[in-house]
Amino acid sequence: MKQATGIAIGVIALAVLAAGGGYWVGNRGAASQPQGAAALVAGATEKKERKLLYYRNPMGLPDTSPVPKKDPMGMDYIAVYTGEEDNDPTAANQIRISTDKVQKLGVRTESAQLRTLDRTVRAAGRIEPDERRLFSITPKFEGYVERLHVNVTGQPVGRGQPLFEVYSPELLSAQREYAIAAQGVEALQEAGGQAQAGMKQLAESSLQRLKNWDVSEEQVKALVKSGEAKRTLTFRSPVAGIVIEKKAVQGMRFMPGEALYQIADLSAVWVVAEVFEQDIGLVKSGAKAKVKINAYPDKVFEGPVTYIYPTLKAETRTVAVRVELANPGLLLKPAMFAQVELSTSTKGKVVTVPVSAVIDSGTRQIVLIQQGEGRFEPREVKIGARSDDYVEVLEGVKDGEQVVVAANFLIDAESNLKAAVGSFGHSAHGAAPKAGDKAEQSPPAVKGSGHQAEGTVGSIDVQAGTLRLNHGPVASLKWPAMTMEFKAANESLLKDLKPGAKVAIEFVERQPDEWVITRVKPLAASPHATGH
């Protein structure tokens, strides 16, 4: 009995101790719990009460504003809050993209370097005969073609080769006159005085007349030796070349000054290249040129630039440049098409970047400089000479700086997209950013950045990405109710829309008179609901 009583007392003591311990532990946990909750509330309050510092340019250009504003393209400036600024004073002018996004875009950089730009100017040209090697056979007296020795156009001839024979009464009379005068001089050798002098003068004038008619020395000597005038006179080729024109026909009558043959020496030819106006300043006389002909794709002909023509063709805006080429084997034919590459002179080593690194908007050129992991600074640059792969940078980039050479347009588009998201307030509509992706978190929307409207869908053009909407009044633009066409910012906005559906939209003016829808919300139960 006593033993049972002792056991009961022990059980009661253990229960009392357990209750006391639980009470102590509970009080301790309760005392620590308000501190953690207070810390969470304080952190949330601190996060909500971020201080607005300034507004930065959406393109990352060095321009900030204390109040909301738009850039020249109509993009809203992005708000920068406490904690988002960088100790670097230029951080506000930079584009920030997460490391994962940089890898997905395929961003590649390259150092700006000092290089010697070897630019090649390319132009189309044609083969032409050397004008200094063209010869015309033109009799200086009236006559008739008695016989043709060369009677085919394109026939090669040698120097001194007979071309044709002519008969001329004037020529025959002149020969007889010279023969008589020559005989008179011999007869009056023993006589003196004026008779002998007059006969010599007559013989000399007759001889000079024959020479003026291009009678060769051999024919004159034969005439003096025989004393008999020949009925015909033979014309010979003055040069070795090709007959490129033949007007002489056997038996025809010709007049003084009429060109009967034209012979070209094609051992050397010209290439006349048409260089565009913007490139002519780079071409200098004496520069080396490479010429390729379609007929000989495996051959490259080389020669110097000998002349730059002083006139410009208004129709093609080109200037003719002459290149002289040797023509062994007569491979180069007149009127052949030629592709000419002209080497241009350089001015030593200059700071250069790849051509792909320059974003040209038409009014200015921008280069993206990598300032750190996921940070890019756009700089406006002044460019100079270009080569096939590189461009000279006169201002804006220094030697050794890392410039973006691949995906720079995607980075530019990414910065525009971030600016659009930040200004249209998409983060306030459930688009929560990923944890740790601080670089892509958008600041809260700036009030008044877009416009809202409600209406009925009229028609949809998916290919053009347009939507015709019959909307009600737009208070922010003071528009009355009307039907107009909008452009969708992306195809997903038009995916589930059908004609006749009632919707609420948000839109902006991307360019003058170009209205772009950035958000669409169907209206079902509440026809008066807005996009927000």
Residue pLDDT, tens place only, 143-179: 999 999 999 999 999 998 999 999 988 888 888 887 7
Output the pLDDT for position 191: 65
| Superfamily of chain region 451-522 | Copper binding periplasmic protein CusF (2.40.50.320)
188-192, 211-215, 435-439, 472-476: least confident range: 435-439
Beta strands of 188-328 (E only): which ranges? 232-236, 241-246, 253-254, 261-264, 268-276, 288-293, 296-313, 318-326
What value, to the nearest 5°, has the Cα angle with vertex 456 and ends 454 and 457? 120
Per the listing, tokens 């009470």 go with 23
Is residue 159 within 8 A of residue 240, CB to CB? The reply is yes
C-alpha count within 13 angstroms, C-beta hemisphere, residue 34: 4
Question: Alpha-carbon distance 165 to 304, whole Å?
Answer: 42
Per the listing, tokens 């080429």 go with 325
**Percent of residues, the chain, with pLDDT higher than 90:** 26
Q: Is the pLDDT of residue 448 over 80?
A: no
Residue pLDDT, tens place only, 8-50: 445 444 444 444 444 544 444 444 444 444 444 444 444 456 6
Average pLDDT over residues 420-434: 40
Strands 482-488 and 514-522, by their bridges, are parallel
**Domain 268-343 carries which CATH code?**
2.40.30.170
Return mean pLDDT, the chain.
77
Average pLDDT over residues 340-358: 83
- Burial-class residue 417 by CB neighbours within 10 Å (0-12, 13-18, 19+): middle
Question: Alpha-carbon distance 116 to 457, whole Å?
Answer: 60
5 vs 339, more confident = 339
Residue 42: what residue type? A
Is residue 95 within 8 A of residue 373, CB to CB? The reply is no
Output the pLDDT for position 1: 44
Q: Is the pLDDT of residue 56 over 80?
A: no
Residue pLDDT, tens place only, 246-281: 999 999 999 999 999 999 999 999 999 999 998 898
So where are the chain's domains? Answer: 1-49, 108-118+348-406, 139-258, 268-343, 451-522
Would you state the CATH architecture of domain 108-118+348-406?
Beta Barrel (2.40)
Residue pLDDT, tens place only, 80-97: 776 555 544 455 567 777
Question: Alpha-carbon distance 352 to 113, whole Å?
Answer: 6
Residue 414: what residue type? E
